[in-house]
Amino acid sequence: MRNTLRIALVGAALSAVSFASAASAATSATANATAEVLSTLTLTADSALNFGQIAANTGGTVSVNADSTAAFSGSLVSTGTRAPAGFTVGGTPNANVVVTLPASATLTRTTGTETMIISGFNTLPTGAFQLNGTGSANFTVGGVLNVASGQVAGSYAGTFNVSVEYQ
Amino acid sequence: MSLNTSIRHIVLSISALTTVLGTAPAIAQGDLLVAPTRVIINGGGNAEIVLSNIGSQAATYRIGAELRRMEPDGDFADVTEAEANTTEKAALEMLRYAPKRITLLPGQPQAIRLSARPTPELPDGEYRVHMSFRAVPPALSPEAAQEQVAAGQLAIRLTPVYGITIPVFIRKGRLEAGATIANPRLGGNAAAKWLELDMRRTGQRSVYGEILGKRGGEQVFQIKGIAIYPELQSRTVKVPLTAEQIGKLSGPIRIEYRELPENGGQLIAEITSTVR
């Protein structure tokens, strides 16, 4: 029994495309034991958060919002392509999905200790959302880059966590 | 579809307005599939979760345990270890899992083993950890690291570390739970319309299921995967609706909260009401 389930599960995991048939196979194995086996969740990155090209004199912020609007404050000038990060979620049709983001993320100068903060992470759709009838949904992530006055020149690197979960 | 996330460059010019733009090198970061998407361990035991690389290149994944709290609108708040309460700390401490980092070829699945053993002195209750599976961004290539900006310039590389989390519930003792639905009402803005519900939970554990809306014998709407976690007594739920669905909401509507069909489909709560 256990092995049968494992095979069905790995079959599902191996090929997202043929998942529906693998899931049906698992369903017929047993109703109760496969309950948690049937659902899968996939996440694919489509595009990255891009703040464009920024020229700064005395600091300020650059906002790239999840709805693709952009703004800047202070003496910053922002040009070029500015776009939120885009992701595709795949899973059970009509299922509810939640995106979790950190409050902020830190960028550190690669050859130093100076930092810059990205805060105000936001998503579109806002809050929990529902996968469509074919089990798919897209969401975007934006944020606010905070550039300090007299920010030390150099190359800054950082990461931020994006995670999705069935509710 | 798989698309590699590349590291972005954001180029700032601090003293000069001269534009300097770095090109973004294409770097593999793993798209992923995880199954199952909920794990319940009753009283202590083992479970397996399968992680599969659905991208087109080999990728490395990091497996971790994180904490979340549900908010009254159903969103999750990230909880750091420093902010964790006693229950959350106990949940983290009783969970063991391996491996913690794996590299997978495209299409390759791998099982992650977990086990949880609540200690005898822990009070009965539901303990929850959110297992995370994240694609590790590749290290900066030497060329990219060398690609220093000119004097007075500032470059930023911001990489999303994206992944999937799934709740792992460890239940100790005999736990009961129930729920009620109240106050179905229409809401919306220019872009979207929805049905909003107030839901209340009682008992010592979470409740989980789907919400179905029926008028006469016809199912008008359905939303799967609605949970109320033990940190909440009540929450709101928004069910997105099309204009066609709203047209069917005249007169009394029966709204049911049921266990998922694969879990037996038992009725948890129901209300028959007109929607305002």
- B2 inside domain: no
Are B106 and B146 in the same domain?
Answer: yes
CATH classification of the domain holding B269? 2.60.40.10
Are B187 and B238 in the same domain?
Answer: yes
Boundary-marking domain end, from B114, B140, B172: B172
**What is the 8-class DSSP label of residue B124?**
S
Rg of chain B over Cα atoms, rounded to whole angstroms, equals 23
Boundary-marking domain end, from B150, B172, B194: B172
What is the structure's pLDDT at A95? 85
CA distance A3 to A17: 22
What is the structure's pLDDT at B143? 58
Q: Pick A166's closest partner by Cβ from B15, B55, B225.
A: B225
Are B212 and B264 in the same domain?
Answer: yes
Task: Name every residue whose Cβ is closer than 8 Å to that of residue A155 and which is 6 or more positions away in sequence.
Answer: A109, A110, A111, B148, B149, B154, B155, B156, B157
Model confidence band, residue A154 (pLDDT cutoffs 50, 70, 90):
confident
Query: Cα torsion for B207, B209, B210, B215, to the nearest 10°?
Result: -70
Are B166 and B246 in the same domain?
Answer: no
Are B88 and B149 in the same domain?
Answer: yes
Of A132, A161, A147, give the one whose Cα is nearest residue A73. A147
Are B190 and B143 in the same domain?
Answer: no
Are B158 and B215 in the same domain?
Answer: no
Q: How far is B245 from chain A (nearest CA, A)?
A: 14
- The mean pLDDT of A115-131, rounded to a whole number, is 89
Please tell me the pTM assigned to this model: 0.77
Question: Between chains, do A155 and B227 touch, taking CB under 8 Å as contact?
Answer: no
Least confident of A11-25, A113-127, A139-153: A11-25
Question: Between chains, do A98 and B130 touch, taking CB under 8 Å as contact?
Answer: no
Any chain B CB within 8 A of the CB of A16?
Answer: yes
Model confidence band, residue A32 (pLDDT cutoffs 50, 70, 90):
very low
Any chain B CB within 8 A of the CB of A12?
Answer: yes
Q: Which of residues 47-76 of A touch B (CB under 8 A)?
A: 47-57
Are B218 and B84 in the same domain?
Answer: no
Boundary-marking domain end, from B139, B172, B205: B172
- B82 inside domain: yes
Are B222 and B112 in the same domain?
Answer: no
Residue A10 has pLDDT above 70, yes or no: no
Q: 10-residue block means of pLDDT along chain B (276 residues)?
A: 32 27 40 89 91 90 95 90 94 96 93 94 96 84 54 68 92 95 92 92 95 92 92 93 91 93 91 91
Give SS3 for B82. helix
A·B CB contacts under 8 A: 255
- B3 inside domain: no
Q: Pick B224's closest partner by Cβ from A55, A94, A156.
A: A94
Query: What residues in B contact A160, CB-CB < 8 Å?
Result: 158-161
Are B168 and B194 in the same domain?
Answer: no
Please give the residue range of the domain that contains residue B27. Answer: 10-172
- B37 inside domain: yes
Residue of A nearest to B239 (CA): A130
CA distance B118 to B173: 10
- B123 inside domain: yes
Are B48 and B148 in the same domain?
Answer: yes
What are the pLDDT digits (tens) for A38-80? 468 888 888 878 777 667 667 888 888 999 888 888 877 767 7
CA distance A43 to A64: 22
Give SS3 for B269. strand
Are B64 and B121 in the same domain?
Answer: yes
Place of tokens 């008992």: B203
Query: What residues in B contact A46, CB-CB < 8 Å?
Result: 1, 3
What is the structure's pLDDT at B148? 52
